[in-house]
Structure 1
Amino acid sequence: MHPSHVILEWQILANILKGLYTMDEHTKHKLLEKNERLINMVIERVKRDFPEDIAIIALSGSFVTGDFHEKSDLDLIIINNTDRGWEISSCFILEDVGYDLYCTPWNTRIEQQANLESPMVSSLIHMKVLYCAKPEFLERLKGYQQKALDELAKPIGQTSLARAQAYIRMAKQYYAEALLAEETGAVRYAAGNLALELFNAINCLNNTFFQQGIKRYLEELRPLKYLPHHFEQTYLDLVNARSVDELRSMAFRLLKNTTVLYDQMQAELVEPPVPTYDNLKGTYEELWSNQRNKVIASTQAKDKSYAFLTALSAQDFLDEMLVSRGTAKFDVMKHFSADALEAFQERFMGIMDEYLEEYKKAGREVARYESIDELTKSFMSGSV
C-alpha cells in the first residue's frame, strides 16, 4: 500500500473516534437509526419497483469514514443497470437535512473511478455494500475496485502524470475564464474551480486520491511528497483574496507553480522517447506534404494569414514529434514575422533540413520518387 494511503487510513480512524467522542450517544443513536430507516426505505423500493434496474446499493462518504456530524446526509451509491433505474433519483429535506438520491452508472462513473479518471475514487474503493441484486454484480464491482487498487499500486510515472495533465489543462481553461470575467464573483468562481482542478492534479502527481470530504482536502494534500512551491499558502491567499487583481494573481501563481512541478516530474520520472528508424517513418514526408509548399505559396502570395496559420500547423506537428518521437525541439513561431515572410520561409527550410538530420542519424532515407512509375512499383511492392 502507498505510504500516503496508510497515513490517511489512520486519519480516517482518528476521525471516526473523534466523531464517537464529540457526539453524545443519544444523538448518535438517533442519527444512525434514521439512516437505517432511510436505507431500508430505499432497498424496499428497489426490490419492489426496480429489481432488474438497480444492481447495487452501497454506503459512501462521511458515514463510512466516520467524519460525520449531526447534519450530515446519507451518501448512497446506487449503481443502475438500465436508464429506468434513474427513476429512483430524488432530492428531499428531512428534519433540516438535505438528501440527494441519484444513480451511478457502471459504464461511466464506475469505470472512470476504476481508471482513476474521476476524483471520486474513494466512493468506489471504500463503499460499503448494503444491497446487491445478483452475485455477479458484486463480482463486477470487486473487479472495478481491484482495478483501481492496481492502478494506485503502480509507481508514479507517465500514466499518473497524464492524468494530472488533464486536470492542469482544465485549470488553464478556468484561468482564461478568470481573465475574461469582469465581476468579482465570476472571477472568484473561476479561480476556485482552478484550485479544485489543481487539487486533483496534485493527487494524480502523487498517484493517490481524496479519501474524505472537502473539509479534509488540505489535510490530505499537506503530507504528500510532491507539492507545488508554497502550495498551501498560495491557495489560502486565493481564498482570502478580495479584489479581482488579487484573485487572478493567486490563481496564476497556483497554476504556474503546479505546471513547474509537473514539468520537473516529467523530466525526472519519465524516460523520453528516442528517434528510431521505425518511429520516424513518414514524418519528414508529412512535414513536406502539409507545411513546406504552403509556406512557399503563402510567401509568394504575400498572404500573412495563410503563412501564420501554416506556421502554427508546423509548430503543432513538430511539438508532437518532440513528445512522441523524441526529436529535437524546433521553434517555428519564434521565426515568424508577418513583415518578413521571405526570411521566415528561409528559416523554415532550414528547420526542415535540421529535421532531415534526424532521419540521417536514424539511418532512414526520404521516400522520394521522380516518376509515377517508380512510385507505383515501390507502392505495389509494399515498400513505401
Structure 2
Amino acid sequence: MNVFEVADILVNHVKNVYSEDIAIIAYYGSYAQGTATKRSDLDFFFIPATTKGYQASIQFIINDISFDFWPISWERAERMASFQETQTTIIADCKLLYVRSDEDSERFMKLRDTISSMQNAEQAQTMIEKAESELRNVYEHLYKLSHASEFESITFYRTEAYGVLTKVFQSLALLNGTYYTRGFGKNREQILQLPLKPDGLESLMKTIMHTDVNTDMLQACEKLVADTFELVLAQKEKYFSSPAYADRMKGYYEEIKGVLDKIITACEMNDYDTAFFSTIHAQDEIARFLFFAETGHWPSSLMFNSTYQDIYKRLGFPELVALLYPHDLSQLQLAVVRLSSLLETHLQTKGVEINRFANIEQFEAFLKEISAQA
C-alpha cells in the first residue's frame, strides 16, 4: 500500500468538505525523515481554522496499517514552537500536504522562525529555565518510587522510571537548546551526543532500563535526577548578574514590614499559629529576595533553602524560625524588631529608597512632588 494515496484521499476530502475550516495538513515522523519501515503509518496532523474543522479528525486502519488524522490548534502549535510543550519536531520537521491560504502559510512559517530564534544563543537563559521547570515534573515519579514497597511489581517500578527518564531527557534537550527529532526509544544516539549531559548518563540509562532489581532502579533514577539538577544549576549560575538592589528591591521593605508587624502582634497576643506561618514565610521570602537582588535570579524551587539563605545569614540577620517556641514568643518578638531595623538599614546602604513618612502631611507633599515631575 502506498500511504501517500491515503494522504491524497484525505486532502481531497478536506477540500470538498472543510475547505474553509482547515488551515494546514502535514505529516511528520518516519516518512518525513526517511526512516519508514513496512509497518510504519503516516503520521498526520492538521490545524483547524474553525470549530467545524475539528470534526475532520479520524482514526482508521487500512490493510493492517493504522492512521491518525488528528488536530493541533494554532495555540498548541505555538506552544510547541516556543518549547513550552514537547514534540517541537512536529512543527519543525513536518512536510506540508495542504495549505488553505497564503496567510496560513505565513503564520505556519512564523512558527518555524520561532523555533529557530529559541535556539539562538540569546535565548540560552530562557531555555535553561525551561529545563529547570521540566525537571520539577520528575519528582512525582521519584516520590512514588521512593515510597513504594520493595515487593511492588516490576511493572510499577518500570512505569515510574519511564516517567523519570522521559522528563530528564526532555530537560536535557532544553538545557542544550534543542529538541528530539525522533521519539523515545529511537533517539538514544541524539541523547548521548548532547554536549551538556550528566557523567555516566549511558550507564544510568542502562541500569534503569535493563535491571529487574527495584532498589537498583530507584538508586539509578535518583542519581540521574540529582546529576541533571546539578548540571542545570551550574548552567544557570553562568547567567547570574551583578548585585542591583535599587531596582530589584524597590518597594520591598515597605511590603515585608507589614508581615513583620503581624509577627510582632502575634507574639504580643501569644498567637503561636499566626507567628508560626508568618515567621517561616517572612524569613524565607526575605532570603529569596536577597538572593534575587544579588544574582538577578530567583532561587530554584528545587534548591535547598539553606543554599539561598546563605546571604541572609552572612548579613547577620536573626534566625527567626529557630525562635518559634510555642510557650514563649518573647525572643522571637525581639528578633523581628531587630530584623526590621537591620533590613531597612542594609537596603538603604545599597541605594534602595524607602518610602517612609512621619505623618500624612509628608506623604501628601511627596505625592505633590511626584505630580509636579510628571
TM-score normalised per structure 2: 0.84
- Cα distance in 1 for partners of 2:188, 2:323 equals 45
Distance 1:227 1:37, change over 3 A: same
Confirm or deny that 1:217 pairs with 2:187.
yes
Confirm or deny that 1:93 pairs with 2:81.
no
Distance 1:357 1:72, change over 3 A: farther
Q: 2:172 aligns with which of 175, 197, 202?
A: 202
1:61 counterpart letter in structure 2: G
Distance 1:333 1:91, change over 3 A: farther
- Cα distance in 1 for partners of 2:157, 2:320 equals 31
Report if the CA contact (8 A) 1:178-1:188 is conserved: no
Q: How does 1:1-384 map to 2 (within 5 A)?
A: 30=1, 33=2, 35-107=3-75, 109-155=76-122, 157-180=124-147, 183-184=152-153, 185-267=155-237, 269-272=238-241, 274-289=243-258, 291-326=259-294, 329-330=311-312, 335=322, 337-339=324-326, 341-382=329-370
Out of 242-251 and 328-337, give the one that drifted further. Answer: 328-337
Number of equivalences: 348
**How far has the Cα of 1:311 moved from its partner?**
2.7
- SS in structure 1 at match of 2:45: strand
**How far has the Cα of 1:154 moved from its partner?**
2.5
- Cα distance in 1 for partners of 2:271, 2:358 equals 30
Distance 1:100 1:354, change over 3 A: farther
CA shift digits 1:150-187 (9 cap, x unpaired): 21122563211111111012122332343455544444
Report if the CA contact (8 A) 1:273-1:324 is conserved: no
**How far has the Cα of 1:119 moved from its partner?**
1.9
**How far has the Cα of 1:144 moved from its partner?**
1.1
- Cα distance in 2 for partners of 1:180, 1:345 equals 40
- Cα distance in 2 for partners of 1:57, 1:166 equals 32
Out of 38-47 and 182-191, give the one that drifted further. Answer: 182-191
Report if the CA contact (8 A) 1:156-1:205 is conserved: no
5+ residue gaps, structure 1, are 1-29
Distance 1:203 1:322, change over 3 A: farther
CA shift digits 1:241-286 (9 cap, x unpaired): 435544433322221111111111111x203352232332111111
CA shift digits 1:102-159 (9 cap, x unpaired): 101112x210122122221111111111111112211111111112112112256321
Report if the CA contact (8 A) 2:250-2:353 is conserved: no
- SS in structure 1 at match of 2:247: coil
TM-score normalised per structure 1: 0.82
5+ residue gaps, structure 2, are 296-309, 314-318
Report if the CA contact (8 A) 2:246-2:353 is conserved: no
Distance 1:112 1:316, change over 3 A: farther
**How far has the Cα of 1:52 moved from its partner?**
1.1
- Cα distance in 2 for partners of 1:381, 1:270 equals 38
Distance 1:381 1:243, change over 3 A: farther
1:233 counterpart letter in structure 2: S
**How far has the Cα of 1:219 moved from its partner?**
1.0
Distance 1:72 1:311, change over 3 A: farther
Distance 1:247 1:341, change over 3 A: farther
- Cα distance in 2 for partners of 1:37, 1:302 equals 79
- SS in structure 2 at match of 1:71: coil
Out of 67-76 and 297-306, give the one that drifted further. Answer: 297-306
CA shift digits 1:277-302 (9 cap, x unpaired): 2332111111111x202222333344
**How far has the Cα of 1:370 moved from its partner?**
2.4
1:330 counterpart letter in structure 2: Y
- Cα distance in 1 for partners of 2:339, 2:217 equals 41
Distance 1:222 1:370, change over 3 A: same
- Cα distance in 1 for partners of 2:27, 2:43 equals 6
Distance 1:315 1:253, change over 3 A: farther
**How far has the Cα of 1:36 moved from its partner?**
1.2
Report if the CA contact (8 A) 2:263-2:333 is conserved: yes
